[in-house]
Amino acid sequence: MLAYILFLIIFSAAVSILVIKLKLPAPRIVIPLVVLAIIAPLAGYYFVERYFSSIPIVIVPNLKGDSLEQVATRLGKLGLTLEEAGDVYDPTLPVGTVVSQRPAAGKKVKAGRMIKLFISSGTRKILVPNLLGRPADQADAVLMADGLALGKIEEDFSSETGSGIILSQNPLPGEEVAAGTSVEVSVSASPEAKKKEGGFKLW
């Protein structure tokens, strides 16, 4: 109400200055403008009350872990809509379920509000690098750089390959695996290395 009164004062002053500057017949201009100044805010207030303030308020539910089908049903009952905002890697939740949402659970919103959802695409997949022919002491660093781990190491005698060279690996190069997967390798060893206590070792 205070804002409305201030508006009328400022508007009336502006109209008066305009009338004086332009030397226009005051009544013919001022009266319609004042009437308009009174009616316009009242009409705007009615419109806001009628079409906005009457919209019910609902509390956003916690959708984490729900499938899109479950989400659509839950939001539909509350008069809310959904939007898929993107996919994220999350090994803790099944593929196709909600990882996070905006607005967050517990927020109060008006019915009809759109809820943005981020959907789990499962564990991040990684292509296994090619370790064949590499020195064995490089394997750990190469795998760690790709989010993988070095698994079991076996020795295999090879007369054609120098000692300490990776001869085979499992999974194979180019295979798609989950992040953190261990890659087993077979490493060439000379007869002398086999005789040493403890067998072959990575330096």
Domain boundary among 30, 53, 76: 53
Q: Domain check: are 155 and 173 in the same one?
A: yes
**Does residue 202 sit within a domain?**
no
Residues 130 and 190 in one domain: yes
Asked whether residue 49 falls in the same domain as residue 71, the answer is no
Single-letter amino acid, residue 130: N
65, 94, 120 - which closes a domain: 120
Same domain, 45 and 94: no
Residue 7 lies in a domain: yes
Whole-number average pLDDT of the chain: 83
Supply the DSSP symbol for 52. I
Looking at the structure, tell me whether residues 105 and 146 fall in a common domain: no
Cα atoms in the 13 Å half-sphere on the side-chain side of 135? 5
CA distance 33 to 31: 5
Residues 131 and 182 in one domain: yes
Q: Coil, helix or strand for 198?
A: coil
Instruction: Please enumerate in sequence order all residues whose Cβ is within 8 A of that of 45, keeping only pairs 6 or more positions apart, or say none.
Output: none
Apex 155 CA angle, 170 and 166, nearest 5 = 55
Q: Is residue 201 part of a domain?
A: no
Confidence of residue 159 (pLDDT cuts 50, 70, 90): confident
Q: Would you place residue 129 in the very low, low, confident or very high pLDDT band (cuts 50, 70, 90)?
A: very high
Over residues 51-72, the pLDDT tens digits come to 556 778 999 999 999 999 999 9
- Number of residues assigned to the chain: 203
Residues 105 and 134 in one domain: no
In terms of residue numbers, what domain contains 65?
57-120
Contact 26, 19 (CB under 8 A): yes
* Three-class DSSP labels, 131-154: CCCCEHHHHHHHHHHCCCEEEEEE
Task: Indicate whether 137 belongs to any domain.
Answer: yes
* 131, 181: one domain: yes
Let me know whether 131 and 185 are in one domain: yes
User: The CATH number of the domain where 148 resides is what?
Assistant: 3.30.10.20
> Do 63 and 115 meet the contact criterion of CB atoms below 8 Å apart?
yes
Q: Is residue 200 part of a domain?
A: no
Q: Which residues face 59 on adjacent strands?
A: 108
If asked whether residues 145 and 172 sit together in one domain, one would say: yes
Q: What is the pLDDT of residues 78-120, one digit of tens each?
A: 999 999 999 999 989 999 999 999 999 999 999 999 999 999 9
**pTM of model > 0.85:** no
Mean pLDDT within 164-185: 95
**Would you tell me how many other CB atoms lie within 10 Å of the CB of residue 185?**
22
Residue where one domain finishes, among candidates 86, 103, 120 = 120
Number of domains in the chain: 3
